[in-house]
Amino acid sequence: MATITVDADGYRIDRGPEITSTCPLAAAIRAAEDLTTDREGVTIMVVGQVLRGLDVGGPSGYQNKDNCGYWRKRPIERLTIVGNGERSAIGPLRFWDGLNGVDSITIKALRIINEPNEFAPIRTAMNEVHGHITIEGCTIHGSGTNWNGLGMKWGVRGHGPAKWTIKDVFVEPAQEHSLYIDNPQGNTLIDRVTGGGNGRTFIQITNRPTSGPSQSGDIMVSNCLCRDINDDGGGGSDYTFVGCVGTLTVKDCTSYNTTNGALVCWTDTHNGTYPIGDHLDYSFKNVVIQNFTASSRRASRPMIALSGVFVGKIIDAKIDTPGIKYRLGGPYGGPRPNGNIEIM
């Protein structure tokens, strides 16, 4: 497997000479196309801070921009961008399905730093469908004074549907959500993500017609922790889900000191949700909430609210609040009725 080393001045393929570049990470991504084989991918190792934002798989016309990383003849695939120590950092990544797009990419062991005028350090373009994006062992950081002084509106914003694996990630406070993903394509894993101090929500995953093709596969959210989520501008609960045609599992997750509720399975009455089948008018096929811990003295909504769930199980939940612990159906979460819900 070939390795490309990138620093602030240029990039080096294996032990070859350094090639200088005004935007070395984008140049390294372009160079990786010729090094990738049918069996082996390419690793790009980032040394130090390479902070300029990139368009990855940019739309037509972007190929002439030095900060566009794309492959000429095929989608980007089996590409890993990895940090080399605690100081390694990159700027924001904007994913597009234009040109040849991205089939699979891993961003690993990096500090991902937003630019002052960017919405999010990781963002997929709206109205486009993307491949498998993996974010592992990273810290997501805002910069500048925008977005209520937090430097980012979202940590990860999946406007365009993609397949996502996000694990071992710490997200610093954002104006709205730590992770906000529309209509994931394929099985989705969110594991060991930590965040807090956001304006409105921790994690939101949707499946609605206004956001593109229907979500497919199962969603697993596990071992996640959030605290001190606020209610600026409304928004959902800390963990918000808007439809799932597979199995949605929330396991070993925690919410502390929320202003809104801790978890909601929500039927979106404004944008709608995809039904789970032609003759089953539910938003969720199968929901399992296991070993969920939520504690708040200030929550203004039910701590767990379920709507539009065909089959649901709440197992060993630990809920501490002076307010409402559970609401099954009703105004918060939407009016669509549930099927069979068990609290065990």
pLDDT band, very low/low/confident/very high, at 62 (cuts 50, 70, 90): confident
* Low-confidence winner among 27-31, 83-87, 134-138, 312-316 (lowest mean pLDDT): 83-87
What is the pLDDT averaged over residues 121-137? 96
pLDDT greater than 80 at residue 100: yes
Q: What is the pLDDT of residues 327-336, one digit of tens each?
A: 998 888 888 8
pLDDT greater than 80 at residue 234: no
Listed in sequence order, the residues at least 6 apart from 58 whose beta carbon sits closer than 8 Å to its beta carbon are: 65, 68, 69, 70, 96, 98, 99
What is the pLDDT averaged over residues 257-269? 93
pTM score, whole prediction: 0.97
Listed in sequence order, the residues at least 6 apart from 308 whose beta carbon sits closer than 8 Å to its beta carbon are: 243, 265, 266, 267, 273, 282, 283, 284, 333, 334, 336, 337, 338
Q: What is the pLDDT of residues 12-41, one digit of tens each?
A: 999 999 999 999 999 999 999 999 998 899
Other CB atoms within 10 Å distance of the CB of residue 63: 14
pLDDT at 235: 82
Separation CA 323–CA 342 (nearest Å):
21
Question: Under the phi-then-psi rule, with left for phi > 0, alpha for psi from -120 to 50, and beta for the rest, what region is 125?
Answer: beta
pLDDT at 278: 86
What is the pLDDT averaged over residues 268-279? 89
pLDDT at 232: 85
pLDDT at 195: 98
pLDDT at 332: 86
Average pLDDT, the chain: 95
What is the pLDDT averaged over residues 192-209? 97
pLDDT greater than 80 at residue 125: yes
pLDDT at 294: 98
pLDDT greater than 90 at residue 146: yes
pLDDT greater than 80 at residue 143: yes
Please report where in the chains the tokens 């394929």 appear, as a residue: 186
The residues spanned by each domain of the chain are 1-124, 201-344
pLDDT greater than 90 at residue 221: yes
What is the pLDDT averaged over residues 143-152? 96
